[in-house]
Structure 1
Amino acid sequence: MLTSSDSIGSESPLSARPASLVQLPLKIIALIVSYIDTAADLARVCSTCRVLNYMAVPLLYETLVLSTGEESPHNQKLPTGGRGSAFATGLNSLVRGNLGPMVHSLTLRGVWKEDTIQRHSNDFVMDRLTILNIAVRAALDKTTRLQEFSWELDIRMLDTVYLGLANLKISALHLRFPSTRGTQPVTVVPVMPHLVALSVTNIDPSLNQDDISTLLCSRKLQDLRMQWSPRMVDSKKPCVRLHDYFKRSTGSSRLRIKKLAFQNLHTETTDDLYRAIDQERIEEVTILNSSSCTFSMIFHNPSANSRHPSPIAKPGFKVMRHDKISRAHCDFLGSMMGLEQIYFVNHDARYYIERPSASPPAIFRRGSVDHDMDTIRVLPNGTSHPSPTFADDPKTQSYLKDNYFTTILSNHGQWLTHLLLSATWHLSTSMIARLVHTCPNLVQLGYATETSSFDTMTLLIPFLRNLVAIRLLVPIYPPNSNSGPPKPVKANTHGLLVPLRSRPLCEVVELDESVHIEKIGLTLGDNEAWGHLKLIGLGWKSYELGEIYAEPLIGSRPPSLPGTPTAQPRVTRRTSTPSGKPLQSTLGKRTRELRSTSNSSLNEHSNGGHPAVHNMDKEMEDAPQETERFVWRRRVRPVGWDVLKHWSIWAMDGSEM
């Protein structure tokens, strides 16, 4: 077995070579180096010794991103990184060096200075664009093991690069079309037989007419994401013809994709999607800022012009993500059965999570409504458009909410594991009870409540035994609704604040994180009822829950929270000899046993609340004289997007496909 050794010091002056440390196999060194995920750290490892350089260089160049801009950054009037272009230097290293076979993912992004319109007046393709595509093609010929390629430059990609990609075994391709009109000829993108994931953004038929219909015919294609230019929606005209993209995907060449995502799609109702996509294989569909009838165009044949009398179960269709509330979408949910994950996109959660110092956004205080045909949608920028009388009626909005809620519970409740509801739907206590009863398999849940009590969370967590993440959304109040945000809580006549659990969520979120940690640690300190919960979100703040521990009480009275002078946590008396009869839980369904803890793992215990008086007296009679009073707590720490991005109810709540 090949091994490597480093050496320090010397055992004797006569020794020409220093003494070696414990020899490690190269596989162990490669495994250790593989856990370094930062390019700067990998670069430092490469400069330490020859063996680590041999192990780290392939990882350093495995993912390569080349960026360009109009001007290079300067520091004290000197260009940062040298006087040469980093973009050109990177391409030159791939073409002339031996680094090409190490690259598995290549991304080209940035701003490329376009030639003036006068230079294009004679329909002549300038040398700058042609030379760039030739240089990229030369680099692609060297990257023989390339699997992922991303073109994010603001200029067109010519057929020279397309043909180079077709010769490689590309499995993931991302294309971004430019936002300016050019005079280059139309390119028919060749088919790539090994393509698995395809993402095309900023599509504008009036500016770029490259034919990508052949590219969609890849036999191994499983993930398709298409984003049209926002100008398509702003024009208020259905200027997108789906036939131009799916004209070759009919009959035996139907798309056998598993994940489908459309954004900014504004088109007429046709049967092109229904004829081009194999509905039995699709698993996940994302429709953002598009026509509400897009779901129906995928799964229902518009030419049949008939509604299904009973819901249809699609064994493969499991995940749905949408950002609009409309009658057409509600009818589609009623025509399907068996969805496991449903996400209603509210806003870009990552923006506010990564900026905790920013003031609370207006979307949480006062939402707005966008009316696209029969659609009601909350805009993240807080603007409003002139709206028809359909959505101005609060009764109509309430009817849509009730219809949505009933449809989700009746058609998909028993299969649901991930559910993110709209922040405009303020669930009542009875609706939360229905949700708990109908959806027993929920793993992640996000919702908003109409009550001003913090106890709504404790109503459902003990009964959802599989729930590991819960997110409480700050309610959004449309401007045309009768009800508005709750008024700020004032102190009473005795100068004491209202208890924390009785305040509205919009006020609880703005409190200091120490108050949240104290409150959550006490409230969720029951291992039997809430031990399975791992993550909790309060508006734009989130906390990770750790282990449960017993904290001894100092003094005659347990500590209380700020603003909650009457709050009393559950107090337990721990004795050296356990009682012969365990205490009864207040829920009447579970019992508790206190066991001695010999390691960091904590004991199981009953639900929160004060134990019965006669049980406490009985325990005190059987206990010895020396007792210790303690309270159960939960370790809590605030987390950011680096943790939340791995949880669906946060990661799916955004405007990105």
Structure 2
Amino acid sequence: MKAHDSVAHMSREIPPHVLYASPVPLTAPNGASNKGQTLPLSLIAQIVSFVEDVGDIARMTRTCRLLYYMTLPVLYERVTLRSYPETRYVDGRPEGYGSGSPFVMGLSGLASGNSAPLVKEFKVTGAWTESGIDEYSKGKIPDSTILLGIALRAAMDKMIHLRSLVWDLDSKPTKSIYQGLAARPTLTSLTLRFPQVRSPRPIVVIPPMPNLRRLRVSDIDPLCYPDDISGLIFHAKQLEDLRIHWSPRMRKEAEPSVNLRMVFGPCLEAKYKLKLKHIGIQNFYGPNTGDLAEIFEPGSIEGADFLDVFGGIYGRPTTIWVDETWKNIPDATHFESYKRHRISEPAMEHAKILSQFSGLEDLYVVGNRLCDRDNTKSEYQSPETAAATPATSVTGSTPTAFEEKQASLTCKAYLRALTANHGQSLTKLLLPDQFPLSGQQIGELVSKCPNLEQIGFALDKDAGEVMSLLAPFLLKLRAVRVLANANSDKILAESELIGLVDGTRTEPLYWKCFNNNVRYCGIGDVVIKLDKAVHMPDAEGNLEWLNRVTLASLEDVQQFEIWSLDKLEL
């Protein structure tokens, strides 16, 4: 009797938040059912979906039986195994003390446990030490590489719901791993990075994966024995997103050792055109043989990224002869469906392409390649010439007068094409810092492109005041970015901004309102957040709409493409 009273007393003292998470129906102390205290499983699942930290999700699996079953699929939905080249220590002891490294133990758990079927996105990354790497030169694959392939194949064979694989390990996948992926009908996304190692190793012809929709391959170097992806691309009839990144070595050394047939040969032979929605090509260096127009179905591509591919006004002198073969402008039918376009090499020919079609929504011209151009000055000098030539700073390099003139003409051609052909559709625009815009050019953009939501450009002399006057007419504008140059430095040199940036300002800073939607403004490397406008007196006592200005970080503006896509990455 006393024991029964003790249990009943304990049931009253159980915290409500524990009762709500109980996996069994709750019962009131008098024995009556109390269904009102039970949270629906759908509500618990909704709460769990808001938890992003992996550590928090892991701790939730240990709270009670219900949350274990609810959070375990979330915990294993995305799995990343990272291998480190050196032994790491925690509290003076090596990681995995008493067993193996976290990479190996995690792989063992996936291969031997029952959690692998929950994995939907799998990533292996880091540095894998191949013991006996000299065995490659003897025609033998090291045992460590074979064993790694066996363990990974065993784990992936149990991932029956695998949708995405990212291979970022500095050791190529073995043939058995590719065969396991080919047998996985759920796989729709594959990312491969080939190691930059020149030791001899087998070249695997990757088997077909017909359900693949997204393929990204990086660091292709013909001297590093990359695997053959041509058959994989040809048989992926549902492929929508293809991004291929070659090693920058070939363009840097002016070595035209690659061609498009190495990747698209089966497609060209079968006269099969890829129906892609997005294509990305980076660091390709090879002559134009006319194959590019025969690879893709005209009218299907909506987005295209071409980074360091065709040369431009700041191209390398050593690549000029190969880049010249790409000057022929293709037919306009290849670009009619473009909605989003990103390049890193502005050129007059590209401006002419933009003038051949209409409807472009996003254009990003990223990066300043002056440093790469100057690096080539010393690459092909003799020791005597190099010794006689005074050293110059790469970061302080400036364009020549001819290049400045070409940049000015090219800028005008771009603005003419954008305002005449894409003004009503353009919503996001990032121009390079080599194109400083005058007040007249800014006014032309404002009047011809009223739907701009994000814009980034460099300012010419005395253009800052014009921008503040014209910005209210861009009613949909949400973010403005002024790229770094001498004129942006003058803006940052104002006393108000100096105090805001270095943290010495104690009073709130207010700016005259751009418009009701602008929330972020970038000036060089500084990001400023504009709070919602308030009606208050200015310094002269007149009532105006003003924004309170605070300092923000680059992480705060990654939602805006004029920042997040301004990088040389596919």
TM-score, normalized by the shorter chain, greater than 0.5: yes
Compute the displacement of 1:313 (Å).
Answer: 8.4
The match for 2:119 is 103
**CA–CA distance in structure 1, aligned partners of residues 165 and 50 of structure 2:** 24
**CA–CA distance in structure 2, aligned partners of residues 270 and 337 of structure 1:** 27
The match for 2:345 is 324
| 1:338-397 superposed Cα distances (whole Å, 9 cap, x missing partner) | 3211101136xxxxxxxxxxxxxxx9xxx6572899xxxxxx972759x9x8x6453333
Contact kept? 1:112, 1:154, Cα under 8 Å = yes
The answer as to 2:238 corresponding to 1:220 is yes
Contact kept? 1:469, 1:536, Cα under 8 Å = yes
The match for 1:459 is 469
The match for 1:536 is 521
Compute the displacement of 1:270 (Å).
Answer: 1.7
Q: Which has the higher contact order (CA 8 A, sep 6+)?
A: 1
Selected match of 1:54 from 54, 65, 69: 69
- Name the CA shift for 1:35/1:13 in 2 (closer, same or farther; >3 Å): closer
- TM-score (norm: length of structure 2): 0.82
The match for 1:655 is 568
Compute the displacement of 1:252 (Å).
Answer: 5.5
Within 5 Å, which residues of 2 pair with 1:265-304? 265-292=284-311
**CA–CA distance in structure 2, aligned partners of residues 12 and 225 of structure 1:** 58
Letter in 2 for 1:634: N
Contact kept? 2:332, 2:353, Cα under 8 Å = no
Selected match of 1:22 from 25, 32, 37: 37
Contact kept? 1:454, 1:505, Cα under 8 Å = no
Compute the displacement of 1:199 (Å).
Answer: 0.6
**CA–CA distance in structure 2, aligned partners of residues 196 and 321 of structure 1:** 21
- Name the CA shift for 1:534/1:31 in 2 (closer, same or farther; >3 Å): same
Compute the displacement of 1:306 (Å).
Answer: 7.0
The answer as to 2:565 corresponding to 1:549 is no
Compute the displacement of 1:138 (Å).
Answer: 0.4
Selected match of 2:511 from 519, 522, 530: 522
SS in 2 for 1:249: helix
SS in 1 for 2:458: strand
The answer as to 2:418 corresponding to 1:408 is yes
Gaps of at least 5 residues in structure 1 are 294-301, 348-362, 374-379, 476-484, 489-502, 561-567, 572-607, 609-631
Compute the displacement of 1:516 (Å).
Answer: 9.5
SS in 2 for 1:370: helix
Letter in 2 for 1:340: E
Contact kept? 2:194, 2:226, Cα under 8 Å = no
Compute the displacement of 1:398 (Å).
Answer: 2.3
**CA–CA distance in structure 1, aligned partners of residues 220 and 194 of structure 2:** 6
Compute the displacement of 1:639 (Å).
Answer: 3.2
**CA–CA distance in structure 2, aligned partners of residues 487 and 120 of structure 1:** 54
Selected match of 1:33 from 28, 48, 69: 48
Compute the displacement of 1:409 (Å).
Answer: 2.2
The match for 1:264 is 283
**CA–CA distance in structure 2, aligned partners of residues 134 and 505 of structure 1:** 57
SS in 2 for 1:199: strand
Compute the displacement of 1:191 (Å).
Answer: 1.1
- Name the CA shift for 1:396/1:316 in 2 (closer, same or farther; >3 Å): closer
SS in 2 for 1:530: coil
**CA–CA distance in structure 2, aligned partners of residues 654 and 126 of structure 1:** 37
Letter in 1 for 2:189: A
Compute the displacement of 1:286 (Å).
Answer: 0.7
**CA–CA distance in structure 1, aligned partners of residues 155 and 173 of structure 2:** 14
**CA–CA distance in structure 2, aligned partners of residues 259 and 4 of structure 1:** 50
Selected match of 1:237 from 250, 255, 258: 255
The match for 2:491 is 504
| 1:71-111 superposed Cα distances (whole Å, 9 cap, x missing partner) | 23113431135442111111111111110111001000111
The match for 1:570 is 542
Compute the displacement of 1:112 (Å).
Answer: 0.9
Greater mean alpha carbon deviation, residues 216-225 or residues 310-319: 310-319
**CA–CA distance in structure 2, aligned partners of residues 541 and 210 of structure 1:** 43
**CA–CA distance in structure 1, aligned partners of residues 327 and 442 of structure 2:** 37
| 1:447-476 superposed Cα distances (whole Å, 9 cap, x missing partner) | 11113464233222111122122112222x
Selected match of 1:177 from 188, 191, 194: 194
Letter in 2 for 1:540: D
Selected match of 1:164 from 167, 173, 180: 180
Within 5 Å, which residues of 2 pair with 1:5-16? 5-6=20-21
Compute the displacement of 1:179 (Å).
Answer: 0.8
**CA–CA distance in structure 2, aligned partners of residues 89 and 185 of structure 1:** 28
Letter in 1 for 2:77: E
The match for 1:624 is none
Letter in 2 for 1:570: N
| 1:402-442 superposed Cα distances (whole Å, 9 cap, x missing partner) | 22322332232232111011112111111111111111111
- Name the CA shift for 1:407/1:239 in 2 (closer, same or farther; >3 Å): same
- Name the CA shift for 1:184/1:311 in 2 (closer, same or farther; >3 Å): closer
The match for 2:409 is 399
The answer as to 2:254 corresponding to 1:254 is no
Selected match of 2:88 from 69, 73, 76: 73
Task: Give me the CA root mean square deviation.
Answer: 3.5
Selected match of 2:140 from 120, 124, 132: 124
The answer as to 2:441 corresponding to 1:431 is yes
Contact kept? 1:271, 1:303, Cα under 8 Å = no
- Name the CA shift for 1:65/1:229 in 2 (closer, same or farther; >3 Å): same
- Name the CA shift for 1:436/1:12 in 2 (closer, same or farther; >3 Å): closer
Letter in 1 for 2:175: D
**CA–CA distance in structure 1, aligned partners of residues 482 and 326 of structure 2:** 42
The answer as to 2:322 corresponding to 1:335 is no
**CA–CA distance in structure 1, aligned partners of residues 145 and 264 of structure 2:** 29
Contact kept? 1:106, 1:146, Cα under 8 Å = yes
Letter in 2 for 1:96: S
Greater mean alpha carbon deviation, residues 442-451 or residues 638-647: 638-647
Compute the displacement of 1:200 (Å).
Answer: 0.4
Aligned residues: 517
Contact kept? 1:4, 1:51, Cα under 8 Å = no
- Name the CA shift for 1:522/1:46 in 2 (closer, same or farther; >3 Å): same
The match for 1:498 is none
Contact kept? 1:543, 1:636, Cα under 8 Å = yes
- Name the CA shift for 1:17/1:126 in 2 (closer, same or farther; >3 Å): farther
Contact kept? 2:429, 2:455, Cα under 8 Å = yes
Compute the displacement of 1:212 (Å).
Answer: 0.5
**CA–CA distance in structure 1, aligned partners of residues 68 and 279 of structure 2:** 41
Gaps of at least 5 residues in structure 2 are 1-17, 313-323, 377-392
SS in 2 for 1:324: coil
Compute the displacement of 1:635 (Å).
Answer: 4.4
Contact kept? 1:5, 1:22, Cα under 8 Å = yes
| 1:171-211 superposed Cα distances (whole Å, 9 cap, x missing partner) | 11000101113433221101111111111011111211421
**CA–CA distance in structure 1, aligned partners of residues 278 and 488 of structure 2:** 44
Compute the displacement of 1:289 (Å).
Answer: 1.9
Letter in 2 for 1:204: D
Contact kept? 2:454, 2:478, Cα under 8 Å = yes
SS in 1 for 2:424: helix
Letter in 2 for 1:176: R
**CA–CA distance in structure 1, aligned partners of residues 246 and 27 of structure 2:** 72
The match for 2:547 is 634
| 1:613-651 superposed Cα distances (whole Å, 9 cap, x missing partner) | xxxxxxxxxxxxxxxxxxx43344443344312111111
The match for 1:645 is 558
Contact kept? 2:510, 2:548, Cα under 8 Å = yes
The answer as to 2:194 corresponding to 1:194 is no
The match for 2:390 is none
**CA–CA distance in structure 2, aligned partners of residues 516 and 279 of structure 1:** 56
Contact kept? 2:61, 2:72, Cα under 8 Å = yes
- TM-score (norm: length of structure 1): 0.71
**CA–CA distance in structure 1, aligned partners of residues 462 and 165 of structure 2:** 50
**CA–CA distance in structure 2, aligned partners of residues 279 and 229 of structure 1:** 28
Contact kept? 1:263, 1:287, Cα under 8 Å = yes
Letter in 1 for 2:44: I
Compute the displacement of 1:267 (Å).
Answer: 1.1
**CA–CA distance in structure 2, aligned partners of residues 224 and 159 of structure 1:** 22
**CA–CA distance in structure 1, aligned partners of residues 112 and 373 of structure 2:** 54
**CA–CA distance in structure 2, aligned partners of residues 304 and 449 of structure 1:** 31
Letter in 2 for 1:128: S
